[in-house]
Amino acid sequence: MKSKAIRLERRGVEHGAFVAPDVRARTPWDDLAFIAECQRLWDEDRPIVLLDALGDAPRRFAAPIRASLALFERLRAGASFQDELWERVGPTKELRPAGASIDAGDTREIEKVFADGLSQRRAVARDLYAKLSWIAHDERDRSLRVRFSFGSEALLDWQGETRRAPWAERFAEAVFPECRAITDNGALLALIEQLIGTRPRLSERIVYNNAPGGGALFHHDDEEHQLGVVFSQLAGETAWFALPKHELAESVAAFARGVLKKRAGTPRKALRALDDTTDEALSKLLNATPRFTRHLVERGTFFHLRAGDSILLPSHGPDAVCWHAVYGLGRRASLAHSYGIFAARRGAANVKRRPAR
Ligand SMILES: [Fe+2]
């Protein structure tokens, strides 16, 4: 079947229509050549697109998926996240409400809902949270996301501590039962285990509701102890650009003009320039320059995810990480779950972090 061209428009910028490459129709989990190819891609910080990775899970979890999509529509229309969240959790002996807050300093944040994890009615994991935000400051992007974590965001508690991580995961599953479409997928977990060399835990969960005309700008998710990300499309579709940071830097250097030429005119300079998230000229090139977008398509870094597909984004260090950008497609906002990949036992992964170049 010939793929159709996909029109890319994000935050008011029309990038053109592009065809995603033909990839195999179905992930051949047990094919040794396929696994070896995945390992090569992973080690080179390249994205791994796993078509139909979720099998029949989007059908099995059709009811909670529909409910999640409807929840996001109500939230977009101004419903109380706290009320909606506890309504979805229902009666439970595992979690209890612990308030809610709104961060006036972050215009993207809508509401943060706290919970305590309980064991025999005693709070054993405090300050778990679910944070609802817009993904962009730009009002043309109506995409929403909910992040599950715990403790102080400013102090990066989630990086320093592992004890409460399983509780944040339980909280995520209580609110979004379709988490199990990913976490019960033995073949997917086995592949991730193979790639990182140890049993994974999937934490720092984010549920995305990417709206048409919206989506994430180019970024990376390299964080201490986080070995990568697994993003799974449960309903609707998204388009992706994903490539190793040093290759993105090569492309930036080739396109840098004017003021940007000084800062990012060589691949080496561009590699450093990418670390500055406040560089407006660079952001314009990366995210709002159709010529550059076309170049990235020609470079083979363009992918299309439909319901049931997953993409793995490796992260081996600040300069050895898969950068990526997302476009919401279709007529309605979609549903996807994005989980950080960590070693279940810290320090057990055989993937060493690579220092900055
Ligand atoms: Fe990301």
Maximum CA pair distance of the chain?
Answer: 64
CA of 324 to the centre of ligand 1 (A): 6
Measured in angstroms, how far is the CA atom of residue 38 from the centroid of ligand 1? 19
Output the CA–CA distances (angstroms, integers) from residue 151 to 115, 155, 304, in the order listed. Answer: 11, 8, 35
Burial class (CB in 10 A: 0-12, 13-18, 19+), 108: middle
280, part of any domain: yes
pLDDT tens string 120-144: 999 999 999 999 999 999 989 999 9
Distance between CA atoms of 280 and 277, rounded to whole angstroms? 8
Rounded to the nearest angstrom, the gap between the alpha carbon of residue 329 and the centroid of all alpha carbons in its chain is 16
Does 1 map to a domain? no
Query: Residue 353 domain-assigned?
Result: no
Percent of the chain with pLDDT over 90: 85
Q: 279 lies in a domain? A: yes
Instruction: Say how many Å lie between the CA of residue 148 and the centre of ligand 1.
Output: 15
Tell me how far the alpha carbon of residue 317 lies from the centroid of ligand 1, in angstroms: 15
CB 232 within 8 A of CB 54: yes
Task: Give residue 109 CA to ligand 1 midpoint distance, Å.
Answer: 17
The answer to whether residue 354 is domain-embedded is: no
CA–centroid distance, residue 338 to ligand 1 (Å): 8
Q: Domain count of the chain? A: 1
Distance 230 CA to ligand 1 centre (A): 9
What is the tens place of the pLDDT at every residue in 86-106? 999 999 999 999 999 998 888
In a domain, 351, yes or no: no
Rounded to the nearest whole angstrom, what is the distance from the C-alpha of residue 219 to the centroid of ligand 1? 6
Domain assignment present for 257: yes
Average pLDDT over residues 62-87: 97
Which alpha helices (DSSP H) does the chain contain, by range?
32-43, 57-60, 62-76, 81-89, 157-160, 165-175, 180-183, 186-196, 245-255, 259-264, 267-273, 280-288, 290-298
In whole angstroms, what is the distance from residue 128 CA to residue 92 CA? 15
CA–centroid distance, 220 to ligand 1, in Å, is 6
Does residue 350 carry a pLDDT above 80? no
170 in a structural domain: yes
**Cα 118 to ligand 1 centroid, rounded to whole Å:** 31
pLDDT at 25 over 90: no
Q: What is the CATH number of the domain that holds 72?
A: 2.60.120
pTM for the model stands at 0.96
Q: Would you say 240 and 10 are in contact if contact means Cβ atoms under 8 Å apart?
A: no
Domain range enclosing 232 = 6-343
